Structure 1
């Protein structure tokens, strides 16, 4: 299937870490012109070196929780490439892991909500005027299935991803008349460095289990009995960013092996 993403201008936040490299590489392989955004310029430069063998990539330092950074990143993108076709909001964090609601600090709660909700809002706010003017745009917010189904020990994270659903759905209604699709790709657990070094240790300690036992428990909850990969999430992002999904907006697409929706 031809996704017709060749030469599209695609802005990807959080490109350098977590699922970012998998998602960025997937768009590169489709021939898109990439703008890779993040705070860690070393990670972005490494990714750019790899992607430059496939397609062009512009890297920009941007803290998505800072409105001026977001506006500046899009202003540079418009100056360099003329417009933005697609925004993929990957940047996000895990928040407190293993803490109950009553053990979660106000600071920990505010930090993850500001990043996971506020970062997507600020980037959408920066790109939407240009998309509206061109009567075209695709926005893909990377949410999470804990924003569709509560999870003990992940209250703050769940709240942030649940709130992102409201942001996405309301914006989809507002932007729809301008031929702009706004959707969520909602991964379940995604195997990778962040999963192995940040999520699993906290969950294992809180549960009194080994990390392997916690991973096996998660896999057993999914209909397909396996943990998702970054490539699984990347494929869903490609679909939502393409015109193949032209009649889909305001939805949550779980990529979790069959957990949240079943």
Structure 2
């Protein structure tokens, strides 16, 4: 299955979806760097993946919201593994309690937004310029169903995931004409410690297999879905063979206002 080459950088890599992506990308031939705040758990994860796959891995402990830490982490990845070919912005927090926006703790609410938005921005800021210089690279921002349909009890997460979609579209527009592309990937409902902690998923059993997320991200890394740059894809919902064959038009799979009718001036 070693059909990929190059270096992948995955944030939130020590557990959950990030952990699945690290192993899936390593299995397919990429050298993989993982970022997470918990250095001990991250090192264990990356060592386990290296032992299981034979791939080169690197554990770099960093808080994705800390600009200096992100810059230092990316510099370490480049020095030890090489330039990043695939960036996966997966790290992020979730609302601590299922409460309406006005009852949320302001600091925790903002920490959730910052973890996704500031984190994604800082990683892109550190990685994308080198992709542009080499005219090669793919960026995947982990989206969500809450990117397009807000859940009132998860207002911070909804805001953050919607903002990431706007960031992806801005990236794709700025990168137009190059061989660097950006994508939104919603993983579906994967059985992870985060989803298990959310009351809304208690008793849920129809989990999205993590393999579907890995398949979608590896197809992006291989350049098979370049026509979807700047757009939303959903693991477990989108058939991979179908999206390979489809070229979306207009604003398909992008965030837009729906006009109220033909006379709507914003249509």
In the alignment, is the contact (CA less than 8 A) between 1:95 and 1:111 conserved in 2?
no
Give the drift of 1:39. Answer: 1.1
| Map of 1:184 onto structure 2 | 184
Residues 229 and 92 of structure 1: CA distance in aligned 2, closer, same or farther (over 3 Å): farther
| Map of 1:44 onto structure 2 | 42
* Cα shift readout 1:18-73 (whole Å, capped 9, x = no counterpart): 21111111001101011111111222122122221311101111110001111111
1:251 and 1:4 map into 2 onto residues whose CA distance is 25
* Cα shift readout 1:152-200 (whole Å, capped 9, x = no counterpart): 311111011011110111011102233111001112322122221x213
| Map of 2:99 onto structure 1 | 99
| Map of 1:234 onto structure 2 | 214
The reply on whether 1:5 has 2:16 as its aligned counterpart is no
Give the drift of 1:150. Answer: 1.8
| Map of 1:68 onto structure 2 | 68
| Map of 2:241 onto structure 1 | none
Deviates more, 1:94-103 or 1:69-78: 94-103
Query: Could you say which structure has the greater relative contact order, defined with CA pairs below 8 angstroms and 6 or more residues apart?
Result: 1
| Map of 2:114 onto structure 1 | 114
Aligned residues: 237
Give the drift of 1:108. Answer: 2.3
Residues 239 and 179 of structure 1: CA distance in aligned 2, closer, same or farther (over 3 Å): same
* Cα shift readout 1:232-262 (whole Å, capped 9, x = no counterpart): 222221122221123320011123548xx8x
In the alignment, is the contact (CA less than 8 A) between 2:36 and 2:42 conserved in 1?
yes
In the alignment, is the contact (CA less than 8 A) between 2:187 and 2:235 conserved in 1?
yes
TM-score, structure 1 length as denominator?
0.84
Residues 42 and 65 of structure 1: CA distance in aligned 2, closer, same or farther (over 3 Å): same
Give the drift of 1:97. Answer: 3.5
2:135 and 2:145 map into 1 onto residues whose CA distance is 31
TM-score, structure 2 length as denominator?
0.83
1:228 and 1:199 map into 2 onto residues whose CA distance is 16
Deviates more, 1:179-188 or 1:99-108: 99-108
Structure 2 unmatched runs, 5+: 239-252, 254-267
C-alpha root-mean-square deviation of aligned residues, in Å?
Answer: 1.9
| Map of 1:138 onto structure 2 | 138
The reply on whether 1:248 has 2:228 as its aligned counterpart is yes
In the alignment, is the contact (CA less than 8 A) between 1:136 and 1:179 conserved in 2?
yes
